[in-house]
Amino acid sequence: MEHTKNTPRDAAEQKKLTSRINRIIGQLNGIQNMINDNRYCGDILIQIGAVESALQGLGYQILQEHMETCVVEQVQQGNTAIMAEAVELIKKLK
């Protein structure tokens, strides 16, 4: 289901999201290096958990933005079916 966003992200929000993604990429590169260096499994698993947590935080941030902008705009325009989509997105994020 492809939708266009009526309210574009401002430059500060885009920079914030990009920064979070870059930190996650750095964490993933660190895990790859740990594997290449044959590091202790427990240490690698701890870092994997940290990446999962970081990704989930990013997802919740984008979900909040979606609910506050896209969903609100659609409901205000009379499209209450957007709520079903929002619920499905929440389910996929967990």
Cα pseudo-dihedral 13, 16, 19, 23, rounded to 10: -130
Amino acid 9: pLDDT: 83
Which residues of the chain carry a pLDDT beneath 70?
Answer: 1-7
Query: Is residue 4, in this structure, part of any structural domain at all?
Result: no
- Are 47 and 23 in contact by the 8 Å Cβ rule? The answer is no
Contact partners, residue 1, CB within 8 Å, separation at least 6: 85
Query: Is residue 2, in this structure, part of any structural domain at all?
Result: no
Amino acid 7: pLDDT: 65
| Domains contained in the chain, number | 1
Query: Is residue 43, in this structure, part of any structural domain at all?
Result: yes
Amino acid 94: pLDDT: 79
- Where in the sequence is the domain holding 70, given as residue range(s)? 12-93
CATH number of domain containing 45? 1.20.58.1000
Query: Is residue 77, in this structure, part of any structural domain at all?
Result: yes
Query: Is residue 78, in this structure, part of any structural domain at all?
Result: yes
Query: Is residue 44, in this structure, part of any structural domain at all?
Result: yes
Query: Is residue 7, in this structure, part of any structural domain at all?
Result: no
> Can you give the pTM of this predicted structure?
0.83
